[in-house]
Amino acid sequence: MDLGSLYTNVIPPLLINGVAKAIKESTAIKVYVCNIMTEPGQTDNYTVSEHINAIIEHCGIGVMDYCIYDTGEIVPEFIKKYNMEGQDLVEQDVDKVKGIKFLQRNLSMIKDKLIRHDPSLVASSIIELICDDLRYQDKQNDPQYLMLSNKLREEKRINKLKKKTEKKGKKIKEGKKDNKVLKSKSKFSSKYSERIASIREADKKAEAKSKQREKKGRTRTKTKKDIKSKETSKKKTPQEIRKEMLKQLENSKLKDKNN
């Protein structure tokens, strides 16, 4: 039962004689699912503790055992839209309340551009509480426990599938994954992916080494050619050698005359 909705929208029935008393005297687990957003003109600036205190003030102590409040992330654009209408997120000041057990759950969803409680997540949270209570009473073989436990498992499986499909849908829209990537990998590729990656790295390294060797070979051939060209440039022509010999002879004749 969402007492938050009952309090904010249908407060008179809760004040009818006998209703609050019947809830308090019931041996069933009493769960309050707190509002996600405040209501303008009714619960302006209300926190979690203020919601609970208002219900207790009208109905008395013992009207709830548990309080489930939302901790899911909501897109800021939707919150801004609510802010424009005088609404805001309910502040989670759970440390101010005593005598009630709190459960944090991701319960929010966007439906028709409005922030709402996800009914399947709310139901699974309450079923989980009941199963824990029955387990505490050693009633694991109780038909009610078995039925609810199976229901909870099925709900979790469905929620997982929903999340997966939502994630895939978002990735396709954003263009992060094409059809080839979305296809499931083969057993061979998943098993030997690391080995394949290491082989590719080794091939790249070998290719880089061969390129370096080629470059070194080219530089060596260039240096040899340069040396040869220098050597050839140093070699004298026959005419130059003849001129030098003649000069030497002339010098030697001049010396003889002087003597």
34 pLDDT more than 90: yes
Which residue bears the tokens 């790249």? 204
How many angstroms separate the CA atoms of 80 and 89, rounded?
Answer: 10
The tens digit of pLDDT for each residue in 155-168 reads 888 878 887 887 78
- Please write the tens of the pLDDT for every residue from 168-183: 877 777 666 555 544 4
pLDDT score at 227: 62
The pLDDT of residue 151 is above 60: yes
pLDDT greater than 50 at residue 12? no
Indicate if 168 and 231 belong to the same structural domain. no
Q: Please give the model's pTM, rounded to 2 decimal places.
A: 0.55
Note whether 206 and 122 are same-domain residues.
no
Query: Is the pLDDT confidence value at 185 over 90?
Result: no
- Rounded Cα distance between 65 and 33, Å, is 11
The range of the structural domain enclosing residue 94 comes to 3-179
Do 157 and 68 have their domain in common? Answer: yes
Question: Could you tell me which residue, 217 or 88, shows the higher pLDDT?
Answer: 88
Mark whether 129 and 10 lie in a shared domain.
Answer: yes
Mean predicted confidence (pLDDT) in 7-16 = 45
Q: Is 154 in the same domain as 232?
A: no
Place of tokens 């699974």: 124
Rg (the chain; Cα; Å) = 44
User: Can you tell me whether residue 68 is helix, strand or coil?
Assistant: strand
Domain boundary among 145, 179, 213: 179
Integer distance in angstroms from the first to the last C-alpha of the chain?
140
Q: Is the pLDDT of residue 254 over 70?
A: no
Alpha carbon distance 188, 174 (integer Å): 29
Whether 72 and 164 map to the same domain: the answer is yes
Contact in structure between 158 and 120 (CB atoms under 8 Å): yes
Fill in the amino acid letter for 224. Answer: K
CA distance 117 to 121: 8
59 and 159 co-located in one domain = yes
Same domain (yes/no): 67, 27: yes
Q: For residue 66, which of 22, 29, 97 has the smallest C-alpha distance?
A: 29
Q: How many domains does the chain have?
A: 2
| Final residue in a domain of this structure, among 179, 214, 238 | 179
Domain final residue pick, 134, 149, 179: 179
Residue count (the chain): 259
CA distance 63 to 32: 9
- Do 87 and 33 have their domain in common? yes
**Does 69 have pLDDT greater than 80?**
yes
Residues 61 and 150 in one domain: yes
